[in-house]
Chains A and B, each alone.
Chain A
Amino acid sequence: MSALQIKHLFGLQGVSRSDIRQILDTAKQFREVLERPVKKVPSLRGMTVVNLFFENSTRTRTSFELAEKRLSADTVNFTTASSSVKKGETLLDTLRNIESMKIDAVVVRHKGTGVPKFLAEHSNAFVVNAGDGAHEHPTQGLLDMLTIEEKLGTLEGKKVAIIGDIRHSRVARSNIWGMTTMGAHVTLCGPSTLVPRNTELLQYKELAGSVSWETDVKKAVADADAVIALRLQKERMDDALLPSMREYRNFFGITEEVLACCKDKVIIMHPGPINRGVELDSDIADGEHSVILNQVTNGVAVRMAVLFLLAGGRENA
């Protein structure tokens, strides 16, 4: 059914350049739809999409739900707080029960790496990963890519700096895979306790030459066309990964001083929610370089594109 080579969207690792291109191009069309007075198309009319969120989420779940509704799909929201999971039901049983209700697609967020793939192996519905542990968050990666293309024209040859807690970031991983596939170079920068420890990363031949590390944030952003600041999760403080927010902000935060080292036309991105004054100063988050709200809008368009294409890319989009 899928109009793409992939049947599900588990992550951006291994997704072909042509599939990513098709998703981004389709998202651009849906981006235009979102500007219309009537922001709805009948593409998924008659289809039922279940949003299975085993982790708290407001932004991503809302964005998916809006995308589904813009495509005229019927949507059902399932969260652990209101489900039998709290009563001990297994993940597989949960899926089987939901699937028995004749659903067509599952959007899933879960703390465990690989849960979307696991569900797809036991389901006839197509599955979209809305974040699995620290593994991938592919629609966030795609919306970041769409935003860069929208602002800079192309990803090919562009330099992207990702700053912050990369080790625990599913957004970073999706961006690394997706952006390098589309020809960008990615520089990773963060405290040594929050970046991938292993240069063994380059065992992945696909990434060789496309990913580099930098410990000095000013050097990392110096030739970047786009800077993505990642959210610092405060619980990391309890695990002795960082000494203090202040030290983090002073050495890895995107401040005016850091911005001064950037190219004039650099764009500043953030997956949200922002810890203002920690990973990103307020003036910059709200400033002329910031494209953070564009990312949010593009999120709906990208999710519409993914659902539409995985459903088969039927006519009358």
Chain B
Amino acid sequence: MRKKHSTLDFDQVVLKNVKLWNGQKFEDRETVCVGLVNNKFSFCNQEDLDSEKTKVLDCAGALVMPALFGLGIDFMEPLRDDVYTFNDGLDAMHRGGFFGGLYESAANPIDDPEKLSAAIDRLLKDAYYSKLKIRFLGAFSKDFGSDSLSEMMELAFGLDDEDADFKGVIGFGDGNAAIPHSRFLRLAMEYGKMTGKRFFFQPMDRTLRKSGCVHEGAYSDMLGMKGIPRIAETIAAYTVLETARFLKVPVHFKQVTCGETLDLVRNARKNGIDVTCDVNLYHLLFDDSCLETLSSAYHILPPIRSAADREALWKGIEDGTVNAISMNHTPVLRQDTEVNFEDSVPGALSLEVALPAIWNELSSRVGEARAIELLSTAPAKLACVDTPAYVPEIGGTANFVILAPNKPRKVLESDFAGHVCNSPLVGKELPSTIVGSYIHGVFHVN
């Protein structure tokens, strides 16, 4: 049976006993009110609310912070729409406290305007939750990985939709495909430069990856599993950066996994190249010692690397090299995970569990303001969502997530939307708990 969406039919909410993020720090508030005022879901005074239609929630000192923005979301539909749908993905965003995300389908490359319109219809118009700020990446090649250019100009500027508050894709990327050969890369970026959009790459050299599925290191050696060396990433990253320097095209690296790539990013920036990057939630949480479990839950691409790499990523977060933390939410059918590691389909769900999994360590390492930036405003900015989603003042936009930071909770399969639960965090106790979220007027209580 499909899991029920656990939203409550209240758009007017009074939160008691919270610590509200005021843009600088969390401050104690006895009461915070939100509701539809002047046709906008915003922070308001209690007298603005209809008391009979208001939900009151005692948050017991939980944090109220800006809702998150998810980079790298893919709901895989129509892989099996009886198992996971766009609505399930959007439900996951509410559960995890996300007000928006950057969508990039691996199953259905958005390589022409019709596909973009279809994706918009399904994610923004026909969906149960239709107000989330979803933005799209267009493919730069037809069908990902081909030698034919997609209609990049049409994708960037051709959307004629009165309901949409954007005119096309915010950038270009070929899903998680390895970077193309150098000539096509050059041509794609050269053509796409006319749009002024950023190119998004998961840096991976296909020949060095070959059939690798885990980090090439001590564990792959002793488990006899085919490894992906760090240079598969760095060589690809260097190729992209050189092309970006030559053509003066802005680029973004998705899911950087090792310190060497971050060094390339640092040097490129010194040389004036416009390059941004993100790291995957799970690459910050785990290292390749997890392979010893042989559990397919850790089958994530690019692979989870060594403890030293994980620490290098954290250092990149701390020194500002990393622009954002990405989610890379990927549902995988249960039967594709209930096999041995190498035969399993890679990918992990993350939206529902990201914040409670990482908040405590992230905020203690970089401070609360930077943690919020990495999870919310910075990824939104990369997706060209510049309108503030959270303004903590009366009349200000109210999209937030409520987190009890010191309330550990074990992750259950039922925490995930849809009929999948492929996450290495299932069964693990997270240090904090999401109490609920208020996103575009939809109040969700976990």
Contact = CB atoms under 8 A, between A and B. Distances in A.
Contact of B341 (A113, A167, A170): A113
A117 B224 contact: no
A113 B218 contact: no
Contacts of B225: 113, 133-135
B154 interface: no
Interface centre among A90, A92, A112, A168 (most CB of B within 10 A): A112
A90 B217 contact: no
Contacts of B223: 113-114, 135
Contact of A113 (B216, B294, B306, B338): B294
Interface string A218-257: 0000000000000000000000000000000000000000
Interface string A200-232: 111110000000000000000000000000000
Contact of B339 (A92, A136, A197): A92
Given A110-B340, A113-B340, A200 B224 contact: no
Given A113-B225, A133-B342, A200 B294 contact: no
A133 B221 CA distance: 12
A114 B221 contact: no
Contacts of A136: 224
* Interface size of A as a range: 20 to 34
A173 B224 contact: yes
A16 interface: no
Contact of B216 (A90, A111, A112, A197): A197
A132 B338 CA distance: 17
Contact of A114 (B218, B294, B338): B294
Interface in B172-217: 216-217
A198 B217 contact: yes
A203 B218 contact: yes
B160 to A, nearest CB: 45
A167 B226 CA distance: 10
A293 B375 CA distance: 63
A183 interface: no
B217 A91 contact: no
Contacts of A277: none
B224 A90 contact: no
B335 A200 contact: no
Contacts of A290: none
Interface in A142-185: 167-168, 170, 173, 176
Interface centre among B218, B222, B341 (most CB of A within 10 A): B222
Contacts of B126: none
Contact of A112 (B218, B222, B306, B341): B341
B343 A91 contact: yes
Contacts of B216: 197-198
B224 A134 contact: yes
Given A113-B294, A197-B216, A198-B216, A170 B224 contact: yes
A83 to B, nearest CB: 16
A176 B222 CA distance: 9
B340 A198 contact: no
B221 A90 contact: no
Contact of B222 (A117, A168, A204): A204
Given A90-B335, A134-B224, A135-B223, A114 B217 contact: no
B258 to A, nearest CB: 14
Contacts of A168: 224
Interface in B325-352: 335, 338-343
Nearest to A207: B222
Contact of A117 (B294, B306, B335): B294
Nearest to B307: A203
A22 interface: no
Interface centre among B221, B224, B339, B340 (most CB of A within 10 A): B224
Nearest to B221: A196
A197 B216 CA distance: 9
Interface string B212-243: 00001110011111000000000000000000
A240 B177 CA distance: 24
Contact of A118 (B222, B306, B335, B340): B340
Interface string B145-165: 000000000000000000000
Contacts of A200: 217-218, 221, 306
A115 interface: yes
A204 B294 CA distance: 17
Interface in B309-325: none
A294 interface: no
A111 B217 CA distance: 20
A75 interface: no
Contact of B338 (A92, A111, A176, A204): A92
Interface of A: 13, 90-92, 110-115, 117-118, 132-136, 167-168, 170, 173, 176, 196-198, 200-204
3 A-B pairs closest in CB distance: A134-B224, A114-B294, A135-B224
Given A91-B343, A113-B341, 13 more contacts: A114-B294, A117-B294, A133-B225, A167-B221, A173-B224, A196-B222, A197-B216, A198-B217, A198-B221, A200-B217, A200-B218, A201-B218, A201-B221
Interface of B: 216-218, 221-225, 294, 306, 335, 338-343
28 contacts: A90-B335, A91-B339, A91-B340, A91-B343, A92-B339, A111-B342, A112-B339, A113-B223, A113-B294, A113-B340, A113-B341, A114-B340, A114-B341, A115-B340, A118-B294, A118-B339, A118-B340, A134-B225, A135-B223, A196-B222, A198-B216, A198-B217, A198-B218, A198-B221, A200-B217, A200-B218, A200-B306, A204-B222
